[in-house]
Amino acid sequence: MLLAYDQGLEHGPSTDFNDKNIDPSFVMDLAVNGGFNGVIFQKGVAERFYNGRVPLIVKVNGKSALVKGDPISR
């Protein structure tokens, strides 16, 4: 089972996050303590918050509410 943190970035923090789960460190701890088989982070989040305690899937394409337009997906 994978814990996908990338969803809130694509849909917008006001739709998927609350005060607790907006913190990537909390999500990383949740993946470890919850027995997840891996965590999904976008590249920048992974570089800063990934601690190596569960397998990592890095999402390198997608869209976000931060930038308008279609995502770049090659």
pLDDT tens-place values along the chain, 74 residues long = 999 886 655 555 556 667 777 788 998 999 999 999 999 988 888 999 999 999 999 987 765 555 666 666 55
pLDDT of residue 63: 59
Tokens 């509410």 found at: 65
Contact indicator for 63, 32 with CB cutoff of 8 Å: no
DSSP state of 39: E
Burial 7-18 (b: 16+ CB within 10 A, else e): ebbbeeeeeebe
Q: What's phi and psi for 5, nearest 5 deg? A: -80, -20
Q: Answer yes or no: pTM beyond 0.75.
A: no
